[in-house]
């Protein structure tokens, strides 16, 4: 079921932050970890909030589902972002009217978008088996909340989910186990590029690839936006290899978001022309 009220989430988020000794503010995604589903992350904000890492233009921040969906499609990754051999998985895109919610029995299921989310989209990719390696499943998720506070709650709930469900069922025959999450707020552990960064790792077992294999997921929050990438391993893939594979695509999405919402710097003013001196060009009279 969708998680309960704000007070319960506050207590859980505070406990998780204390256990991890990491920076959480007020504080997902499932099989590629589509984002965790709540009815409302915070009630104090009525509009998009600024980001500490992007000088956002308020006029460029989406306030309607249609604008949010259009922005997502501008920045979400295409298969080639993960390399020339990457192809679309079926289904390639999630239903934009729904997202994944981790139920009380630790099983992921699709639910309608909550009121605090303007739009969310998940794409699925695959690097086919080759050179002794099994097929690698990848995903990217972009979610637009109505405010930064509500996006912050999404990260806090991922931490709660890890504590509540260290093993999670993605679908028939697909299981994540031994999950651990490490959050880093802006300024922590070299994080100077996003308001919040959250990394999750564990193992993945799938009916088609066996296992356990390494599993990694990363999510960044910039203002009201969360951007996530994930990789579910297969034979021959290592955890460091998965992290290396996700690094550039994740950075590409962040760069795309910055370009879409940043305030445009004023054009450099050209210096006034140098007055011409009287006489010859060498300055003699």
pLDDT tens digits, one per residue of 140-154: 999 999 999 999 988
**155 within some domain:** yes
**271 within some domain:** no
**269 within some domain:** no
| Whether the Cβ atoms of residue 223 and residue 54 lie closer than 8 Å to each other | yes
pLDDT of residue 67: 95
**131 within some domain:** yes
Residue 27 has pLDDT above 60, yes or no: no
**69 within some domain:** yes
pLDDT of residue 193: 85
DSSP state for residue 33 in the 8-state scheme: B
Domain that holds residue 29: 6-261
Q: Given 3-state DSSP classes, what are the helix, strand and coil percentages for the chain, each rounded to the nearest 5?
A: 25, 35, 40
Residue 189's SS3 state is: coil
**272 within some domain:** no
Spatial separation of the C-alpha atoms in residues 108 and 4, rounded to whole Å:
17
**273 within some domain:** no
Lowest mean pLDDT among 23-32, 100-109, 135-144, 211-220: 23-32
**78 within some domain:** yes
pLDDT of residue 63: 94
What is the domain count for the chain? 1
């Amino acid at each position: 079921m969708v998680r309960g009220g704000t007070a319960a989430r506050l207590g859980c988020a505070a406990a998780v932050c204390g256990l991890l000794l990491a920076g959480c503010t007020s504080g997902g995604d499932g099989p590629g970890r589509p984002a965790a589903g709540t009815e409302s992350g915070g009630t104090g904000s009525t509009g998009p909030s600024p980001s500490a890492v992007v000088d956002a233009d308020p006029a460029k921040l989406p306030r309607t589902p249609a604008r949010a969906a259009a922005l997502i499609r501008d920045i979400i990754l295409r298969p080639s972002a993960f390399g020339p051999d990457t192809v679309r998985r079926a289904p390639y895109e999630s239903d934009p009217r729904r997202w994944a919610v981790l139920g009380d029995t630790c099983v992921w299921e699709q639910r309608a978008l909550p009121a605090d989310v303007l739009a969310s989209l998940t794409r699925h990719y695959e690097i086919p088996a080759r050179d002794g390696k099994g097929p690698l499943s990848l995903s990217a998720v972009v979610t637009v909340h109505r405010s930064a506070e509500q996006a912050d709650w999404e990260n806090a709930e991922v931490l709660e989910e890890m504590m509540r469900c260290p093993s999670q069922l993605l679908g028939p025959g697909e299981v994540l186990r031994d999950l651990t999450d490490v959050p880093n707020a802006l300024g922590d552990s070299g994080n100077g590029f996003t308001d919040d960064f959250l990394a999750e790792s564990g193992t993945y077992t799938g009916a088609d690839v066996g296992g356990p294999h390494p599993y990694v997921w990363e999510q960044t929050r910039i203002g009201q936006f969360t951007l996530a990438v994930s990789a579910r391993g297969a034979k021959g893939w290592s955890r460091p290899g998965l992290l290396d594979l996700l690094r550039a695509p994740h950075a590409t999405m962040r760069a795309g978001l910055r370009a879409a919402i940043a305030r445009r710097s004023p054009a450099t003013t050209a210096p006034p022309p140098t007055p011409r001196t009287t006489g010859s060009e060498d300055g003699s009279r």
